[in-house]
A and B are shown apart, each in its own frame.
Chain A
Amino acid sequence: MAQYALVIDLNTCVGCHACATNCKEWNTQAAFGPLSDYDPYGREPSGVWYNRIMTYETGEFPNTQVFHLPKSCLHCQDAPCVPVCPTGATYKREQDGIVLVNYDDCIGCKLCSWSCPYGCREFDEADKVMKKCTLCIDRVYDESLPPEHRQPACVLTCPARARFFGDIEDPNSEVYKIIQERNGFVLFPDMGTNPANHYLPRIETKINLEEFEKHILKPDNPLFLEVMKRHHVSNKTPEQKQVEEVV
């Protein structure tokens, strides 16, 4: 069975909030909108967001690292919010595994939000119904859009390309491969919810220039001559070029 989900690369997420902002912009005007704002120009502006970005710091000073965690509905494969809904307004689609809320049936009892360990459901005080990420289902299946645009708004807007969208159950999909190759993990794995959205862990990349110089620019390196030839063409001395290459 297909299971659409987001895969978020914590290694490249810069915490710019563009995904959250574009999510709000798209969904407040689209089929599942609006995402109400309360006191938007006042002292304490707040409102409904499908996607929120948390920022955490790990480690102890001075060896600390900051990472950003975009958190929207994880479209759990064993979604605990679905069975508790007394009206059946919350349901999980069989064809793609997306968890949705039928606003016409929602009575606003908030029990689904009590049953979500991730805090990914928000009550809209204006519409009096529970709202949550729809994985931009109105974009994903919109055939009037070009195929490359049939993705969630947050994925399209991410400037760091930290977000991926696809079927995590399909071994040929990009997201499936990314999860396998980069040890994708989920939030709260012990809660029995089996979330569909995955996160890619941070990997520290180290470039050691000393090692580079030692091995690549050694005269006995077969590539050394090629490097020298290239630089010989120009007017600069090979030494100058080598320095430029390294820099």
Chain B
Amino acid sequence: MHPPLSLIFFFLTAGTSIGLFIFMYAIEFLQLFGKGQGLPKEVILKLGIIELLLIGAGAIGASFHLGHKLRAWKAIRRFRTSWLSREAVFSGAYGFTLLVYLVLNQLDANPFFEHFFGVLTFILGVLSGFSTAMIYASNKFVLEWNTSITVIYYLLMYLMLGSSLMAYFSYLYKLPYLGTFIFLTFLFLVLSFGFRLAFNIRQFYLKRPTMNEALNLPHNRPIRVIDTGSTTHNYCTEEFYYKKGKDMLSTVIPVAYLLTFVVPLFLVLYAWITGTHNQWILGLTYLFILVGSALERWSFFVEGNHVQNLFYGLYPEEGYKVRKGFMERKETKISLYG
């Protein structure tokens, strides 16, 4: 699949915004039960503005992959069936409730309403991330994405982005949660790393359809594409098969793993074990995760193989298993040789 840069941008901004809010509000929420000391109002304001700006930038950025940006509001219509519609609704609602929460928090309004909107923003943020991940995970024609692992590691990466930035701000604003967030960054790095590996390993065991299945021919019949009807590329071969990306993928994936998981893990472990807490280490950890995540998202798109590529002979064949039993239950009779 061709990687849309605007969606990668949305992942980074929305992921950081939602991840950061989840941890920021978690501290506030735990204070309700006498756990921790909460956050100073100025810090909540600063972090809240960053979250608002990021989700706003993400929404504007994401609209760049749309043909008609001004009609984007219409995307709320099919909430009942479309994950993209749900994502649009939840992301928009997240931004709105976040603003209301910040206003209530800064005005010292009724704590019930403040926390009501806090919890609502928290839930909407998670739902927004979940809906975005489900756009990919629910697509059964891109088998690489069509798994619950996609959703789990998508959300884990939101938490990874949020916790690493929260660790940085904990140092910057001298908050008493630095150790906690260094540990959480480590935890979500390890979990995301594990699930990303599982996502990649799963691809080797996928049972893929074949061109014979696409054309409804028996499996034992050799078939090859002679002509695709046009002398140049078309929308289908460009959108669903990114040749340049496929060539670069074997280089980009290791770099993405290195920048997103390995280097930040070393940095966090160094900070944790040696107790060296400074803004360089924590800032670099977030930056590495941010840049690595961009590459990781790029790889995620390029790794996806759409089944329509079968018609063009661009679908992977070697090293993959054919679906067992296919065609044995078919009743269609096709006579090519008489």
Known: A45-B232, A86-B85, A119-B311. Contact between A57 and B213, CB under 8 A? no
In the bound complex, do residue A188 and residue B209 qualify as a contact, i.e. CB atoms below 8 Å apart?
A: yes
A residues near B71, Cβ cutoff 8 Å? 87, 105-107
Q: Which of A55-77 contact B (CB under 8 A)?
A: 55-60, 63, 65-67, 69, 71
When the two chains form the complex, which single residue of A57, A117, A187, A199 contacts B223, counting CB atoms closer than 8 Å? A57
B306 touches A59 (CB 8 A): no
Residues of A within 8 Å of B307, CB to CB, are 117, 188, 191
Q: Which of A52, A110, A190 meets B209, CB within 8 Å?
A: A190
Contacts of B330 in A (CB 8 A): 189
Query: Is B216 in contact with A128, judged by CB distance below 8 angstroms?
Result: no
Interface centre among B217, B230, B309 (most CB of A within 10 A): B230
- Residues of chain B within 8 A (CB-CB) of A32 are none
Given contacts A59-B222, A118-B308, A201-B335, contact A108 B232 (CB under 8 A): no
The answer to whether A236 has its CB under 8 Å from any CB of chain B is no
A45 in contact with B231 given A115-B139, A129-B67 (CB within 8 Å): yes
Query: CB-nearest residue of chain B relative to A53?
Result: B229
- Proximity string of chain A (39-52) to chain B, C-beta cutoff 8 Å, 1 when within and 0 when not: 00000111011001
Q: Mask for A15-45, Cβ within 8 A of B = 1, else 0?
A: 0010010000000000000000000000011
Question: Which A residues are CB-close (under 8 A) to B139?
Answer: 114-115
Q: Give, as a whole number of angstroms, the nearest-CB distance from A201 to chain B.
A: 4
Chain A nearest CB from B121 CB (Å) reads 23
**Given known A-B contacts A46-B232, A123-B67, A185-B334, A86 and B75 have beta carbons under 8 A apart:** yes
The reply on B175 being an interface residue by CB < 8 A is: no
Q: Which residues of A contact B67 (CB under 8 A)?
A: 106-109, 123, 127-129
Complex Cα spacing A57 to B226, Å: 6
Q: Are A84 and B222 in contact (CB under 8 A)?
A: no
Point out the residues of chain B lying under 8 angstroms from A134, CB to CB. none
Cβ distance A24 to chain B, nearest Cβ, rounded Å: 11
CA distance A53 to B231 in the complex (A): 12
Residues B77 and A114 in contact, CB atoms below 8 Å apart: no
Known contacts A84-B83, A107-B66, A113-B239; A20 and B216 CB within 8 A of each other: no
Of the stretches A165-173, A202-210, A211-219, A239-247, the one at the interface is: A202-210
| CA A113 to CA B308, docked complex, whole Å | 10
> A58–B222 contact, CB under 8 A?
yes
Question: Which residue of B is nearest A46, CB measured?
Answer: B232
Q: Are B230 and A46 in contact (CB under 8 A)?
A: yes
Could you tell me if A190 and B326 are in contact, using CB atoms closer than 8 angstroms?
Answer: yes
Q: Give Cα A185–Cα B331 distance, bound, in whole angstroms.
A: 10
Q: List 13 A-B contacts (CB under 8 A).
A: A44-B233, A46-B232, A52-B229, A69-B311, A107-B74, A109-B66, A110-B65, A114-B306, A123-B67, A183-B334, A191-B141, A204-B336, A204-B338
19 new A-B pairs (CB below 8 Å) besides A105-B71, A114-B141, A188-B213? A45-B231, A48-B235, A52-B234, A55-B228, A56-B223, A65-B337, A80-B141, A83-B81, A84-B82, A84-B83, A86-B74, A86-B78, A105-B77, A106-B68, A107-B71, A122-B234, A129-B67, A201-B332, A203-B338
